[in-house]
Chains A and B, each alone.
Chain A
Amino acid sequence: MRDLIATIDAWRARGDAVAIATVVKTGGSTPRPLGAKMIVNSRGEFAGSVSGGCVEGAVIEEALRVLKAGAPKLVAYGIADETAWDVGLSCGGTIEVFVEQVKS
């Protein structure tokens, strides 16, 4: 979070909505630890990461949905999940990501 705050502030200052995606569960060998974060703005720009690059694309899509709907969402990725066919983790791990909008 520390390294993403300046970007969140800059995006919000220019009027963009911002979503934070946080790794809240890891299983097997995953490249980013619990608490790893990625931020996405309403233009689809992002910063930070929740994996080694394998699920970031899907998380951006999810974040845009959350920004539209307003309600937060818990999403699972990896081989243990049915989404494995679309979005797999190359490392063979599983992660759950909590996606929410930064509101004030």
Chain B
Amino acid sequence: MKPEIWNWFSELKKNIANETLCALATVVSGANLGAKMLIYPDARIAGDLGDAALTAQVARDARELMQSELSERRAYGDAEIFIEVYAPKPKLIIFGGVHTALPLTQFAQALGFRVTIVDGRSRFANRERFPTADEIIVAWPDEALAQTRMRIDSSTYVAILTHDPKFDIPALKALSTMQPRYIGSMGSRETRAQHFAELRAQGVSAEFLARVHGPIGLDLGARTPEEMALAIIAEMEAVRYGTSGGFLVEKESS
């Protein structure tokens, strides 16, 4: 069976413009060289690789790679397929327009994130303080999550920096029914224990709470808000690429 000839470039272009998660699989070695298929996280595919079994297997593998935003070349018998994941731009939602949120916004934007600032206090969340933020929402956490233009999905990262149980607890509660890639929450271990006890009492699952990074950030010895922001963004990147964030020098060579 000959693979279908189709306009993959125009569909890929549309996906990139619409921030749609997809994977592009290309035969780079073997029969039907250059055949292409687009795979989506749901059951949808477009195009084919010229062989029904191969097409189905690659679609399954591509959906798995999408979870970690990894591109990979894999061998399937005599065929080699390059599977390239096109992930939407990552999004960062910061709860709390506090000092650390200022450098965190800058760092995140330099790394390609869209940034939303959420705070119930307009004195904290405003254009003067966050001139470059992609979105500023003055509201309670649950209202803000309902209002945001950002989709809360596997490319969404959340940093809760408010340091105020009035805000932190509802934010975690609202997020507990969603599937962001990362949730970090500022505060000491004691604060965290208190907040988690309260959330469990409100019916939030232990599985969800185990996913929350708190205290937030990598252990970089951060003292200033800028250093805190660096530790937070570094942790987000480590989660994004599935690494532990240690010293490369201590990593076994692969």
Q: Is B10 within 8 A of A104, CB to CB?
A: yes
Report A-chain residues with C-beta under 8 Å of the C-beta of B82: 22, 24, 98
Q: Is B71 within 8 A of A104, CB to CB?
A: no
Report B-chain residues with C-beta under 8 Å of the C-beta of A22: 26, 82, 84
Q: Which of B9, B26, B84, B86 has the most CB of A within 10 A?
A: B9
Contact with B along A1-25 (1 / 0, CB 8 A): 1100100110000000000001011
Report A-chain residues with C-beta under 8 Å of the C-beta of B9: 8, 102-104
Q: Is A35 within 8 A of B26, CB to CB?
A: no
The total of Cβ contacts below 8 Å across the A-B interface reads 41
Q: Bound complex: CA of A9 vs CA of B12, how far in Å?
A: 13
Q: Bound complex: CA of A34 vs CA of B71, how far in Å?
A: 7
B131-153, CB < 8 A from A: none
Given contacts A5-B13, A22-B82, A104-B9, whether A35 and B71 have CB atoms under 8 Å apart is yes
Contact with B along A72-102 (1 / 0, CB 8 A): 1010000000000000000000001010101
Q: Is B234 part of the binding interface, using a Cβ–Cβ cutoff of 8 Å?
A: no
Q: Bound complex: CA of A10 vs CA of B60, how far in Å?
A: 35
Q: Is B10 within 8 A of A2, CB to CB?
A: no
Of the candidates B7, B12, B28, B72, which one forms a contact with A74 in the assembled complex, judged by CB atoms under 8 Å apart?
A: B28
Report A-chain residues with C-beta under 8 Å of the C-beta of B16: 1-2, 5
A8–chain B nearest beta-carbon distance, Å: 8
Q: Bound complex: CA of A74 vs CA of B73, how far in Å?
A: 13
Q: Is B33 part of the binding interface, using a Cβ–Cβ cutoff of 8 Å?
A: yes
Q: Is A24 within 8 A of B73, CB to CB?
A: yes
Q: Bound complex: CA of A100 vs CA of B32, how far in Å?
A: 13
Report B-chain residues with C-beta under 8 Å of the C-beta of A72: 33-34
Q: Bound complex: CA of A71 vs CA of B32, how far in Å?
A: 10
Q: Is B34 within 8 A of A100, CB to CB?
A: yes
Report B-chain residues with C-beta under 8 Å of the C-beta of A25: 73
Smallest CB gap from B10: residue in A: A104
B76–chain A nearest beta-carbon distance, Å: 15
Q: Is B188 part of the binding interface, using a Cβ–Cβ cutoff of 8 Å?
A: no
Contact with B along A21-65 (1 / 0, CB 8 A): 010110000000011000000000000000000000000000000
Q: Bound complex: CA of A5 vs CA of B11, how far in Å?
A: 12
Report A-chain residues with C-beta under 8 Å of the C-beta of B73: 24-25, 34
Q: Is B28 within 8 A of A98, CB to CB?
A: yes
Q: Which of B16, B33, B34, B73 has the most CB of A within 10 A?
A: B34
B191–chain A nearest beta-carbon distance, Å: 39
Report A-chain residues with C-beta under 8 Å of the C-beta of B13: 5, 9
Q: Bound complex: CA of A22 vs CA of B82, how far in Å?
A: 10
Q: Is A71 within 8 A of B72, CB to CB?
A: no
Q: Bound complex: CA of A2 vs CA of B22, how far in Å?
A: 13
Q: Is B122 part of the binding interface, using a Cβ–Cβ cutoff of 8 Å?
A: no
Report A-chain residues with C-beta under 8 Å of the C-beta of B86: 1
Smallest CB gap from A26: residue in B: B73
Q: Which of B12, B16, B73 has the most CB of A within 10 A?
A: B73
Using a CB–CB distance below 8 Å, which chain A residues touch chain B? Answer: 1-2, 5, 8-9, 22, 24-25, 34-35, 71-72, 74, 96, 98, 100, 102-104
